[in-house]
Copies of this chain bind each other. A is one copy, B any other.
Amino acid sequence: MASEKYLEKLLEDFKNGKIDKDRILQELKRLPYQDLNFAKLDHHRKLRRGQGEVVFCQGKDLSHLLPILTEFKNRGEKVLATRMKKEVYEEIKDSLADASYYPVSGILIMGKFPEPVYNSLILVITAGTSDISVAEEALLTSRFYGHKSEYLYDVGIAGVHRLLDHIELLDSASVIIAVAGMEGALPALVGGLVSCPVIAVPTSVGYGASFKGLAPLLTMLNSCVPGLSVVNIDNGFGAGYLASLIAEKNK
């Protein structure tokens, strides 16, 4: 792994005549450019690494997952594993004794959640109870990145007073993640009530003309409420990660 140290050494070797010009030119060219720019390119990865690694389990075999997770365990890294099916967890739980599994969202955490290091509140809300699996993925992701995060579930548009009852909680948030399937109107509704950024997460929960989340996705994109943006259908992790980036600045 090349690094700034290695670069300094190269230059010194060259100055001291240990290597000649051709050699140092050749080395410099072979140096992966990201090593030269290491600090720049990986600013955003630092955040992730600071808290540990992320492993996406969907579509991966146990035979791939177990070695990865075991290696991280042996290195003592914190790990956030997403979309791990219950059957997979059952197979590996004995190998990963200290891991916590959250069956609703399929999240597995190796190591403990960090103490919150940011004062700002990330609030995760859902329109219905069926949206909770996606919401919990967002919630636990943001906690994994050191945030104080709370949730408020089942406050969809069908009973607007349920949402209005919690207007002080909404108002105290730095970022709100609004998760909704079916008609997907919750993010626009809450976006009209608060002054913080709202991250809208459409879910594939719905029937008939929901078309696996297309309906709430379009709803959220077309909202005339400013201050709102959208991530992919069911993308709880993406919403939790983005909320962490935004809220981190408010420390």
Question: Which residues of the other chain, B, contact A232 by a CB distance below 8 angstroms?
Answer: 207-210, 221-222
Question: Which residues of the other chain, B, contact A224 by a CB distance below 8 angstroms?
Answer: 127-128, 156, 158, 182-183
- The residue of chain B having its C-beta at the shortest distance from the C-beta of A36 within the complex is B29
Copies assembled: 8
Bound state CA distance, A8 and B22, in angstroms?
9
Bound state CA distance, A239 and B197, in angstroms?
11
Q: In the complex, are the beta carbons of B222 and A183 less than 8 A apart?
A: yes
Bound state CA distance, A235 and B224, in angstroms?
10
Q: Can you name 9 A-B residue pairings with CB atoms under 8 Å?
A: A7-B25, A33-B165, A47-B195, A157-B185, A160-B189, A182-B222, A185-B189, A210-B222, A215-B218
Bound state CA distance, A194 and B14, in angstroms?
32
Q: How far is the CB of A244 from chain B (nearest CB, A)?
A: 9
Q: In the complex, are the beta carbons of A218 and B218 less than 8 A apart?
A: yes
| Listed stretches A89-97, A107-115, A166-174; interface member | A166-174
Q: In the complex, are the beta carbons of B222 and A215 less than 8 A apart?
A: yes
Does A234 reach chain B (CB closer than 8 Å)?
Answer: yes
- The residue of chain B having its C-beta at the shortest distance from the C-beta of A230 within the complex is B230
Does A188 reach chain B (CB closer than 8 Å)?
Answer: yes
Q: In the complex, are the beta carbons of B222 and A241 less than 8 A apart?
A: no
Bound state CA distance, A157 and B161, in angstroms?
14
Question: Which residues of the other chain, B, contact A188 by a CB distance below 8 angstroms?
Answer: 157-158, 183, 185
Known: A183-B219, A215-B222. A229 touches B227 (CB 8 A): no
A contacts, CB < 8 Å to B: 4, 7-8, 11-12, 14-15, 21, 24-25, 28-29, 32-34, 36-37, 40-41, 43-47, 58-59, 120, 127-128, 130, 156-161, 164-165, 167-168, 171, 174, 182-185, 188-189, 191-197, 199, 202, 204-211, 213-235, 237-239, 241-242, 245-246, 249-250
Q: In the complex, are the beta carbons of B211 and A217 less than 8 A apart?
A: no
- The residue of chain B having its C-beta at the shortest distance from the C-beta of A120 within the complex is B249
Known: A33-B37, A36-B28, A174-B249. A158 touches B235 (CB 8 A): no
Q: In the complex, are the beta carbons of A218 and B214 less than 8 A apart?
A: yes
Q: In the complex, are the beta carbons of B219 and A219 less than 8 A apart?
A: yes
Bound state CA distance, A235 and B202, in angstroms?
19
Question: Which residues of the other chain, B, contact A34 by a CB distance below 8 angstroms?
Answer: 161, 164-165
Q: How far is the CB of A21 from chain B (nearest CB, A)?
A: 6
Q: How far is the CB of A90 from chain B (nearest CB, A)?
A: 17
